[in-house]
């Protein structure tokens, strides 16, 4: 699907003043972040991101209509400045015909990229249950290998798999921690949603899609 069709499809939802706008699944986080930035200029705010498609290879972003009064001002200004957006005209914050952000939008898109990446990585973030399951699988593998291999080979193979699990868990936690720090440095507050998952919000912002607020 072309850039114009992605943008046009999103703007059709926005034109209907839908409370929720689903950005067409994207193959990369930068592309998803660029489109999310455009939606923000039309009075929407970032809601959540998750994996979808074949083998979870695509990124789906959900935007919510921002209830703040300044969002309507932002929306009106954008419509006035970009009357042909979605019809091969200019689009707020992006180079024409591209999902590459303009210099003045680079920082904002980078923050959205971090928000999206943080949410997407939650699918693979290892909690205690996942770690126990992973290491239990290593133990089972070792036991099975003992049937037709020497104890040394079985332990070595099981240990190698356990080491891979450990490295993967550590790398994932470290990367997500760095993203969380960048979002904190950008002024975002860490909160917990109704499922207990960590999210990030601007000061004073309510978690999109929920009726209740969450304490930092």
pLDDT digits (tens, 9 = 90+) for 26-45: 999 999 999 999 999 999 99
pTM, two decimals, is 0.78
Token pair recorded at residue 60: 């789906």
Pairwise CA distance, residues 68 & 127, whole Å: 35
Instruction: State how far the alpha carbon of 181 is from the alpha carbons of 28, 144, 163, 178, 209, in Å.
Output: 22, 42, 27, 5, 24
Domain boundaries, the chain: 3-123+186-201, 128-172
Strand partners, 62: 22, 48
pLDDT score, position 206: 77
Tens digit of pLDDT per residue, the chain (216 long)?
Answer: 578 888 999 999 999 999 999 999 999 999 999 999 999 999 999 999 998 988 888 999 999 999 888 999 999 999 999 999 988 889 999 998 899 999 999 999 999 999 999 998 876 654 455 556 655 765 766 676 667 767 776 666 666 666 665 666 666 678 888 999 999 999 999 888 877 778 898 887 777 655 444 333
Which residue intervals of the chain are DSSP H helices?
Answer: 3-15, 29-41, 69-81, 106-121, 128-145, 151-185
Contact 176, 118 (CB under 8 A): yes
Contact 119, 49 (CB under 8 A): yes
DSSP character for 58? E
Specify the residue for token string 């930068």: 30
pLDDT score, position 214: 38
């Amino acid at each position: 699907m072309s850039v114009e069709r992605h943008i046009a499809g999103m703007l059709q939802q926005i034109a209907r003043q839908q409370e929720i706008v689903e950005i067409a699944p994207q193959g990369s986080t930068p592309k998803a972040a660029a489109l999310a930035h455009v939606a923000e200029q039309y009075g929407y705010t970032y809601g959540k991101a998750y994996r979808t498609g074949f083998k979870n290879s695509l990124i789906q972003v959900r935007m919510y209509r921002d209830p703040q009064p300044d969002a309507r001002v932002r929306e009106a200004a954008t419509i006035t400045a970009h009357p042909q957006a979605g019809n091969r005209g200019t689009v707020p914050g992006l180079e024409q015909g591209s999902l590459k952000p303009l210099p003045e939008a680079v920082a904002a898109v980078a923050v959205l990229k971090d928000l999206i990446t943080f949410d997407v990585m939650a699918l693979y973030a290892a909690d205690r249950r996942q770690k126990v399951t992973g290491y239990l699988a290593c133990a089972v593998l070792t036991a099975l290998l003992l049937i037709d291999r020497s104890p040394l080979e079985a332990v070595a193979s099981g240990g190698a798999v356990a080491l891979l699990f450990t490295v993967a868990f550590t790398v994932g936690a470290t990367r997500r921690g760095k993203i969380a720090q960048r979002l904190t440095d950008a002024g975002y507050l860490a909160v917990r949603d109704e499922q207990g998952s960590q999210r990030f919000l601007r000061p004073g912002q309510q978690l999109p899609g929920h009726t209740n607020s969450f304490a930092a």
